Amino acid sequence: MLNSILHSSVIVASTEASLDFYHQILGLEIDHSRPDLGYPGAWLNVGNQQIHLIELPNPDPTENRPKHGGRDRHVALATNQFDELVNKLEINNIDFTLSRSGRKALFFRDPDANTIEVIQN
């Protein structure tokens, strides 16, 4: 009955700061077709899926999250440029941890403590 994920939403404190992270650093393309939903945000393309940034009050704590993102809720993305991503994270002083599964994968957090996993495909 269900056969794909279309988008995942993350709550952000500042759409502008989050776009600096997701668009400028990670290179995700902005989908400008987002309608006015009554609150700030942005849609970002990830292949045929999207990440929706929604700027709303966050009901979840952003502090004291698990150090390793694999022990927290997260969005997992695929890459064929794993080493380039590691370099980009290091250049931008973004902390990450490697997957404990033995896969070529890593976890890092966005400016609002949302976890992103990236797996080499």
CATH of the structural domain 7-54, one choice from 1.10.357.10, 3.40.50.720, 3.10.180.10, 3.40.228.10:
3.10.180.10
Edge-to-edge order in the sheet of strand 96-98: 74-79, 115-120, 105-109, 96-98
Q: Which CATH superfamily is domain 69-120 in?
A: 2,3-Dihydroxybiphenyl 1,2-Dioxygenase, domain 1 (3.10.180.10)
- Residue range 16-22: mean pLDDT, rounded: 97
Say what the pLDDT of residue 97 is: 96
Examine the pLDDT at 61 and tell me if it is beyond 90. no
Say what the pLDDT of residue 49 is: 97
Domain ranges of the chain: 7-54, 69-120
pLDDT band at 120 (very low <50, low <70, confident <90, very high): very high
- The model's pTM: 0.92
Who contacts 28 (Cβ-Cβ below 8 Å, separation ≥6)? 22, 44, 45, 46, 51
Element (H, E) at 17: helix 15-19
